[in-house]
Structure 1
Amino acid sequence: MMSFISNAGAQEPAPEYDRTVAVAALCSGKTKQMVDAIDEVLTAVSIRAEDSVWAATIVSALGNKKLRCSEKSALSLLQSGADYQDALTLSAVTLEGKAPPAPFVNLKVRANLDVAASLLSLIDNPIGEGAEAAVVVLEKQFDNVHVPLLELALDKVTDPDLEARLHVVKALKSLRAPDMDERLAAIAAVADNPTERNRTALVTLRQDNAYVAEDPRLTKALDSAISDIDTWIQIGQIGSVLFSGLSYASILFMASLGLAVIFGLMGVINLAQGEFIMIGSYTTYLVQEFLRYAVPGLLDWYLLIAIPFAFIVTAAVGMVVEATVIRHLYRRPLMTLLATWAISLFLINLVRVVFGTQNLGFIVPSFLEGGTRVTADFILTWNRLFAIVFSAVVLLLSWLLLRKTRLGLYIRAVTENRDMAGCVGVSARRVDLLSFGIGSGLAGLAGLVLTPIYNVNPNMGTNFIVDSFMVVVLGGVGNLAGTVISALGIGQINIFIEPLYGAVAAKIIVLLMIIVFIQFRPEGIFAVKGRK
């Protein structure tokens, strides 16, 4: 991307480089001498006149106050605990008397040290998390980047993403190159990577009258580049809103699907549905902790291993609740409402007693860490993409269960007409028990999906119960397609309104919109036969 940018602005290596002179300058405590010495060391490394390991050691020691020396002292030492090394040779030495003080490092020198350490780290370790952290530092402090050493780092880095980002850093550094053609090429290269940081760099130059006065072409190039970046940033913002809305909708769908089955089949307003979500999250936590101590090699896969456990445990709890409480309260909606609320409080306090009130700590699996930049500042994060894909799989399996199995046929029959289903031999009680278990298990899967992206604590379920009921009522009681569409609508509208008016106002506006919609269509988007 930046291969066409020349090195006209690069410093020529200093042939008179001497390690002793460089260390003496670093020990001077004077800003200009220290900055120049850092530059000389980096230049020497870039032409392979100096060892990168020694340079990295000296830079790190100076930044961490482990370089002990002064202008008045002939000693130049590196401190390592109670031991010392010669700063020039890194050989062990025995200190007699008191060690010299560490040179004072001010903010300007510190910035140059951070950049130098990052460049040297990239040269010695061009892969892994350390390389990512080094590139982040270079992106933030591109003004202090040493171009020849950056080019050496580019030769060593193999990750395409890191290499592209380093090319952008080089372009940002070249924005003030002496050669005008190099500046214009740098502006075009920066515009090819539309981010807020790059836009800010170009806008700063556009507002610098002395800069744009040097060549009329700069004004035109900057205006065009800023306009292009603005366009891509807007596209990225739209994509980010849609992705965030889709991920939120997928979580809403997972939380609402079980409630849709229970409410649609039995007409039970289950206020404990949020706590079933919590049970799924806590079951996932227990699986994680078991693997941590029993099979640590599988710890990274705990989220996938926990899927059957989260479903089965939560479904079992739901079936116990149905058999012991709900079954005896059918056709008494107020009593059912109060009973499920009591169950909700019981489960919350039980978890508080057993696990405490603090948020649980979850390990983010390696396959869910980070994400990929699509365009501008729109980053597709793997944990939210996992939630979307997982909810799509659950949707498919739920559809197959309801449409292609005998149990699904029974559930649909009882939902449409309980009495007639009983007349043809369908055991409504058995269907109720299994349906309540399935609905609870689906809530448990929602809890599993939430663990990488949400705070898991005893009160987490209360944040989803109202939204879940809104999804079910808007979509049409017991209708799978309606649940999907209403979850998508509510999720997208929430994410769209929230940045403008805040989270609380967004929920109020969505609730008012649903109330208005229900006035004209009480049965929801899709009406189930027999339940109008």
Structure 2
Amino acid sequence: MFADYTWTELGSIFAMQGFAGLILFSVFVLMALGLAIIFGQMGVINMAHGEFMILGAYVTYLCSNFFEAYLPALFGIYFFFAMALAFLAAGTLGALVEWSLIRHLYKRPLDTLLATWGLSLILQQAYRSIFGAREVGVTLPNWLLGSVPLTDIIEIPINGIFVMVLTFVIAIAVYFILFRSRMGMQTRAVVQNRVMAGAVGINTEKVDRNTFALGCGIAGIAGSAFTMIGSTGPTAGQLYIVDTFLIVVFGGAASLVGTIASSFAISQAQSTMEFFLSGSMAKVLTLLTVVGILMLRPQGLFSLKIRR
């Protein structure tokens, strides 16, 4: 596999695929952070998580068209408005779904899996009916076009750098929300002991709704970031849902550090192997490796000690 390349060529290949892996890592982290909050903190298997991501992508697409047609002077900063609207749209839909569906299915993980899978199909058909079956893309502002050359043969796309910076900012924000805010304290209290949390005056139903909405809102931001590097279609979210669940389980449910670490490991492994092997074979080898590690450490790379 490596015999046809010189050491210099291999170094350049690993560097280029490493940067490509960082961009994939950014999308994985944004997707997995929202799912880690929903699955890790609440125990809800949300198979419609990818569709919340695509909702954010379509909101960004609509904002792009609106600013381009009616506010061309502000087109250079439209993405920041789109990201905020994507968070609000996905978060609001998440709160509605939790109130109307999920709250009736707590402690019934198989039922939540089936219900959210049905919800994902409904949302896919809704997107197909509203936006059409074809994939759509956004128009990037001029400052997001082009690339930054590192060497004569290695260049980093500016939009990829922007997505990585955005991921870092969102990860820091999630850390402060979960570990340095009143909402995070209440969420962790409910996870550790729901009955005692309710006894001391915490509104556990409100915490559940806010937590689910936050996870879905972060998925909406992931959808906005996704438009920077790819096109959007009604079923695009399903391409990432399996990898996202794999990341959350591999990193350890409810572990923010584990989610980031497993996102990095899986994205780098897939990006590098896809250059030398087919994309499907790269996924198979990654999956087999993760399964083997989980057989030895079923709690994941990082696990939290929670009193039940």
| TM-score, normalised with respect to structure 2 | 0.95
Query: SS of 2:155's equivalent?
Result: strand
| 1:338 to 1:231, Cα distance in 2 relative to 1, 3 A | closer
Query: SS of 1:525's equivalent?
Result: coil
Q: Which residue of 1 aligns with 2:215?
A: 439
| 1:531 to 1:436, Cα distance in 2 relative to 1, 3 A | farther
Alpha-carbon distance in structure 1 between the residues aligned to 2:305 and 2:97? 28
1:529 CA drift (Å): 2.3
Alpha-carbon distance in structure 2 between the residues aligned to 1:317 and 1:527? 30
Query: SS of 2:228's equivalent?
Result: coil
Counterpart among 254, 260, 285 of residue 509 in structure 1:
285
1:233 CA drift (Å): 4.3
Counterpart among 30, 33, 46 of residue 254 in structure 1:
30
Q: Which residue of 2 aligns with 1:22?
A: none
Give the conservation status (yes or no) of the 8 Å contact 2:163–2:228: no
1:450 CA drift (Å): 0.7
Alpha-carbon distance in structure 1 between the residues aligned to 2:12 and 2:294? 34
Q: Structure 2 matches for 1:95-114, cutoff 5 A?
A: none
Give the conservation status (yes or no) of the 8 Å contact 2:60–2:138: no
RMSD of aligned C-alpha atoms?
A: 1.4
Equivalent residues, number:
303
1:531 CA drift (Å): 7.5
Counterpart among 72, 86, 91 of residue 296 in structure 1:
72
Counterpart among 196, 201, 205 of residue 425 in structure 1:
201
Give the conservation status (yes or no) of the 8 Å contact 1:292–1:299: yes
Q: Which residue of 2 aligns with 1:71?
A: none
The letter of the residue matching 1:294 is: Y
Note the alpha carbon deviations across 1:26-76, whole angstroms, 9 max, x for none. xxxxxxxxxxxxxxxxxxxxxxxxxxxxxxxxxxxxxxxxxxxxxxxxxxx
Q: Which residue of 2 aligns with 1:455?
A: 231
Q: Which residue of 1 aligns with 2:272?
A: 496
Q: Which residue of 2 aligns with 1:12?
A: none
Alpha-carbon distance in structure 2 between the residues aligned to 1:370 and 1:295? 23
The letter of the residue matching 1:503 is: G
Q: Does 1:353 align with 2:129?
A: yes
Alpha-carbon distance in structure 1 between the residues aligned to 2:278 and 2:163? 24
Note the alpha carbon deviations across 1:347-404, whole angstroms, 9 max, x for none. 0000111110111131121111110221131111111111111100000111111111
| 1:531 to 1:349, Cα distance in 2 relative to 1, 3 A | farther
The letter of the residue matching 1:312 is: L
Q: Does 1:404 align with 2:156?
A: no
Note the alpha carbon deviations across 1:230-285, whole angstroms, 9 max, x for none. 66544332221211111111110111110000001211100000000000000111
The letter of the residue matching 2:206 is: R
- Going by fraction, where is helix more abundant, 1 or 2? 2
The letter of the residue matching 2:177 is: L
1:422 CA drift (Å): 2.1
1:476 CA drift (Å): 0.7
Alpha-carbon distance in structure 2 between the residues aligned to 1:393 and 1:303? 15
Give the conservation status (yes or no) of the 8 Å contact 1:233–1:376: no
Alpha-carbon distance in structure 2 between the residues aligned to 1:427 and 1:476? 27
If asked which structure has higher relative contact order (CA below 8 Å, sep 6+), I would say: 2
Q: Does 1:366 align with 2:109?
A: no
Note the alpha carbon deviations across 1:481-521, whole angstroms, 9 max, x for none. 11000000000111111112211111111111111111111
Q: Unpaired segments of 5 or more residues in structure 1?
A: 1-229
Query: SS of 2:229's equivalent?
Result: coil
Alpha-carbon distance in structure 2 between the residues aligned to 1:369 and 1:449? 15
The letter of the residue matching 2:43 is: G
Alpha-carbon distance in structure 1 between the residues aligned to 2:294 and 2:227? 33
Q: Which residue of 2 aligns with 1:245?
A: 21
Alpha-carbon distance in structure 1 between the residues aligned to 2:280 and 2:307? 32
Q: Which residue of 2 aligns with 1:330?
A: 106
Q: Which residue of 2 aligns with 1:391?
A: 167
1:418 CA drift (Å): 2.2
1:526 CA drift (Å): 1.1
The letter of the residue matching 1:475 is: G
| 1:356 to 1:531, Cα distance in 2 relative to 1, 3 A | farther
Give the conservation status (yes or no) of the 8 Å contact 2:190–2:197: yes
Q: Does 1:310 align with 2:86?
A: yes
Alpha-carbon distance in structure 1 between the residues aligned to 2:43 and 2:244? 15
Q: Which residue of 1 aligns with 2:190?
A: 414
| 1:349 to 1:234, Cα distance in 2 relative to 1, 3 A | same
Counterpart among 339, 347, 353 of residue 115 in structure 2:
339
The letter of the residue matching 1:325 is: L
Q: Which residue of 2 aligns with 1:473?
A: 249
Alpha-carbon distance in structure 1 between the residues aligned to 2:8 and 2:157? 19
